[in-house]
Amino acid sequence: MSTPSIHTQPAENEQQGFNWRIFGPGILMASAAIGGSHLVSSTQAGAIYGWQLAIMIILANFFKYPFFRFGSDYVYDTGESLISGYYKKSKVYLWVFFALSVVSSVISTGAVALLAAVILGFMLPAGIEVSTITLSIIVMGVSWVFLIAGHYRLLDGLTKWIIIALTIATIAAVVIAAGKPTVMTPDFVATSPWNLATLGFIVALMGWMPAPLEFAAINSMWTSAKIKADHTTHRQGRLDFNVGYMTSAVLALLFLSLGVFVQYGSGQEIQTSGGAYVGQLISMYTATIGEWSRLLVAFIAFMCMFGTTITCADGYGRANAESWRLLKGNLELSEKQVLFWTTYSAVGGLIIIMFFTGQLGAMLKFAMITAFVSAPIFGWLNYRLVKNHERLSPVMNAWSVAGLLFLAAFAVLFLANLTGLLGA
């Protein structure tokens, strides 16, 4: 699959202004982002620490923004994906990206599919019991068939409606919960997150906030496909990216709000396991808001994770296929290659699920922490690629440098205290 140069796009597109069809890659990235980081980590942060960690969600989204945006800008400026840029920078960089992506694709896809399956289990009628493994196979199988049947255009169209439905449902849930917040127990004492013992939780929270930074490269692949399909302009692509990015950032704060309004100070022990926490969250909703909210909350959660499963399988499939194409020296990216690596993500994810069904929480935390520790590397590489190609504005350059310092400082702090955190 070759990517057309932006310089060959029809000039009349510059005059189209707002058009529903311009939205795609940015919304896809939002769908991928609104998963474990939002549903589990953000909500747990609110449930355990109240509003205290809202600042970390804001900072993570703020300082990662330039590096994610570079993924979109680079495609429109050069006509090629970030992955091609890695290859031109150094073959070593591409091998590092490919190795990390091959591993992350099965861990991330498997983790989000397993969480989707757990949520689906809560939606089944009373008396009907289906094993988590069976539900995981259903979720992954439907995701795979969906992608194979319609691939990018079908995914492009559906995720817009998923995000719209999710945003409306989440806002409604927050408004309802804010009107009837949980009454704090008389002996409740607020827990401070500002200590080294909580550093692992904070790093995990920021690792997938709004998404692993390798998704900038994946987003550049979606952008290439969007340009080929709809001939979008750079201005339209920037609008799509900003809307998707801001949607995921705002929803992260809304999910934190749900944790605050529904669970914070309630006196009930907060489960840290992903699957157990989802069940607890749904039960707390029904006890606080009413039994009628059970399906609403379950629907919100499931749509989060189902959309994330689809976009992870597609995104990692495209990124791995493009990386392998470049490493092998092939001229064209064929759909067969994308199919192979998409299937690899799905099948590999199922194998992970079968071996680690009871380790969902550990899988998610490991994936999130790994994503954050590697973030400075991907951030620096994206920064160097874009800076070498164009002159960044003083504001964007300073923003990028500050972001690199922020990400590197937390990564070094975490690694320096890793032994103590593992022993805690």
Q: Which one-letter DSSP state was computed for residue 40? A: I
Q: Which of 40, 37, 109, 26 is nearest to 72 (CA)?
A: 26
Question: What is the C-alpha to C-alpha distance for residues 251 and 156, in angstroms, rounded to an integer?
Answer: 20
pLDDT < 70: residue spans in the chain: 1-22, 151-159, 272-276, 284-285, 287-289, 357-361, 363, 419-424
Q: What is the pLDDT of residue 298?
A: 82
Q: Could you tell me if residue 346 is inside a domain?
A: yes
pTM: 0.83
Q: What is the pLDDT of residue 1?
A: 37
Instruction: Give the residue numbers spanning the domain of 157.
Output: 31-423
Q: What is the pLDDT of residue 20?
A: 64
Q: What is the pLDDT of residue 2?
A: 34
Question: What is the C-alpha to C-alpha distance for residues 25 and 219, in angstroms, rounded to an integer?
Answer: 6
What secondary structure does DSSP assign to 209-246, as a single string? SSS-TTHHHHHHHHHHHHHHHH---HHHHHHHHHHHHH
Q: What is the pLDDT of residue 65?
A: 95
Q: Could you tell me if residue 23 is inside a domain?
A: no
Q: Which amino acid is at 129?
A: E
Q: What is the pLDDT of residues 148-189, one digit of tens each?
A: 877 556 666 666 777 777 778 778 878 888 887 777 888 888
Q: Could you tell me if residue 25 is inside a domain?
A: no
Q: What is the pLDDT of residue 55?
A: 95
Q: What is the pLDDT of residue 10?
A: 40
Please report, for residues 62, 73, 236, the alpha-carbon distance to residue 368 in angstroms, rounded to integers and kept in the order given: 18, 26, 31
**Total number of domains in the chain:** 1
CATH number, domain of 162, equals 1.20.1740.10
Q: Could you tell me if residue 6 is inside a domain?
A: no
Q: What is the pLDDT of residues 188-218, one digit of tens each?
A: 888 899 988 888 888 888 888 888 888 898 8
Q: Could you tell me if residue 197 is inside a domain?
A: yes
Question: What is the C-alpha to C-alpha distance for residues 298 and 279, in angstroms, rounded to an integer?
Answer: 9
